[in-house]
Amino acid sequence: MKKHLKSYGVILAGSLIYSLSFNAFFSANQVAVGGITGLAQVLNVWIPVLPVGVATILMNVPLFLAGWRLLGFHLLASSLFSMAASSLAIDGMDLVGRFPPMDPMLACLCGGAVMGFGLGVVFSQGATTGGTDIVARLLKIKFPWLPLGRLVLAPDAVVLALAAMAFGQIESALYGAVALFVCSRVMDTVLYGLDTSKVAYIISDRWREIADRLLREQDRGITILRGEGAYTGAEKHVLMVAFKQREIVEIKRRVHELDESAFLIVCDAHDVLGESFAHFRQEEL
């Protein structure tokens, strides 16, 4: 019970940060937002008596009912809580008072960063604020060959287009697109941290020396893959090693010292689990 209360407390904090960013930066400056909240923002322009928070709840409830089998109980309950808290907070803050307008570019940059932080906090607890991520999961059933990222962008693009029509200026949608980009980057930083991971593939005739040195001096686990040169047909040993971003210079230096002609590929890696990296959490999305 204590664990669940703590989780819902964190979700509440993230939802309030999300609501604050919407009122202070987006609504006050007529900058468009993606997702269901953005659609509610458009409806509020066309129907001023319909508050943004109430409209968000009214549109989200059918989505939750349509996708409850996909979400599972924990994600459904925590997401309903987050959606209700953020929506009510948006209307509550609007009743207390409205924030003064500022430079639109400053608003979309700061608003995107604050909103991304709030969403990252909510997502870190295995919840969502509803909206486009549920739409994307439902669309995935109909179009299983399309990547989930593109399916998320599709409804956001439609909402931004509607916002440009509602506000009567294309700049609102363009500022909104910038804000969405900033939001996604900050959200990833909250979820995955600044110290991102890398994975390196090393092909060298001195693979054993390189592996021994990395094991001894870098204290990193190494997997040896067996390959074959397509042109020569010669057998090759490929070293695969995962490491932290801050270790990349040392690994490159050690490989170069042992074999200047070594073939080294370094790639970005996400959600590296085990060893000295992160650990799996059931509540993560």
Q: Which of 246, 265, 269, 270 is nearest to 255 (CA)?
A: 265
| pLDDT tier, 265 (very low <50, low <70, confident <90, very high otherwise) | very high
Q: Does residue 281 have a pLDDT over 60?
A: no
What's the whole-number mean pLDDT along residues 97-103? 89
Is the pTM above the cut of 0.85? no
What's the whole-number mean pLDDT along residues 142-163? 72
Mean pLDDT of the chain: 82
Beta bridge partner(s), residue 197? 244, 269
Residue 92 is predicted with a pLDDT of 92
Which has the higher per-residue pLDDT, 280 or 265? 265
Q: Does residue 3 have a pLDDT over 80?
A: no
Which has the higher per-residue pLDDT, 56 or 218? 56
pLDDT by residue (tens digit) across 218-247?
A: 777 889 999 888 888 888 999 999 888 778
Q: Does residue 4 have a pLDDT over 50?
A: yes
Contact 26, 177 (CB under 8 A): no
Which has the higher per-residue pLDDT, 17 or 60? 17
Which has the higher per-residue pLDDT, 257 or 219? 257
197-269 — its CATH code? 3.30.70.120
- Domain locations in the chain? 2-192, 197-269
